[in-house]
Amino acid sequence: MFAQSQWVIVTLGELCLIKMGYLPALIYTEESAILFLIPL
């Protein structure tokens, strides 16, 4: 359940970042996903 809500937050964050002109690169760990911003 928690993982699914985490996915939703990450996905919405990616969409917002893409609109702002950033390319999101996700690195997944055992417990959570870390978001790194890469300027285009």
Nearest to 39 by CA among 19, 22, 18, 26: 22
Write the CA distances from 18 to 7, 23, 34, integer angstroms. 16, 6, 16
**Burial (CB count <10 Å: 0-12, 13-18, 19+), residue 10:** middle
* Segment 1-40, tens digit of pLDDT: 555 666 666 777 777 777 777 666 665 666 666 666 666 5
User: Count of domains in the chain?
Assistant: 1
Largest Cα–Cα separation, the chain: 34
**What is the structure's pLDDT at 17?**
72
Domain that holds residue 33: 2-39
